[in-house]
Amino acid sequence: MLDVTDLHAHYGRAHILQGVTLRAGEGEVLALLGRNGAGKSTTMKSIMGLLRPTSGAVRFRGEDIAGREPFEIARRGIGYVPEERRIFTELSVLENLEVGRMPAREGLAPWTAERVFALFPSLGAMRKRPGGRMSGGEQQMLTIGRTLMGNPRLILLDEPSEGLAPVIIERMAEAILALKREGLTVLLSEQNLHFARLVSDRACVLEKGAIRWEGRMEALMADEAARAQYLTV
Chain residues binding another protein by CB under 8 A are 12, 48, 50, 69-71, 74-75, 80, 82, 84, 86, 88-91, 95-96, 98-102, 146-147, 150
Nearer to another protein, 39 or 150 (CB): 150
Q: Do the beta carbons of residue 58 and residue 64 sit within 8 Å?
A: yes
State the nearest-atom distance from the C-beta of 21 to another protein, in Å.
23
Nearer to another protein, 80 or 120 (CB): 80
- Give the contacts of 163 (CB within 8 A, at least 6 positions apart): 136
Distance CA 62, CA 210 (A): 23
The CA-atom distances, in angstroms, between 163 and each of 27, 123, 137, 227 are 27, 19, 8, 22
State the nearest-atom distance from the C-beta of 100 to another protein, in Å.
5
- CB atoms inside a 10 Å sphere around CB 128: 8
State the nearest-atom distance from the C-beta of 127 to another protein, in Å.
14
Nearer to another protein, 173 or 186 (CB): 186
Burial of residue 95, with CB atoms counted within 10 A of its CB: 0-12 exposed, 13-18 middle, 19 or more buried: middle
State the nearest-atom distance from the C-beta of 122 to another protein, in Å.
22
Q: Do the beta carbons of residue 163 and residue 10 sit within 8 Å?
A: no
Nearer to another protein, 143 or 200 (CB): 143
- CB atoms inside a 10 Å sphere around CB 174: 13
Nearer to another protein, 142 or 196 (CB): 142
State the nearest-atom distance from the C-beta of 77 to another protein, in Å.
9
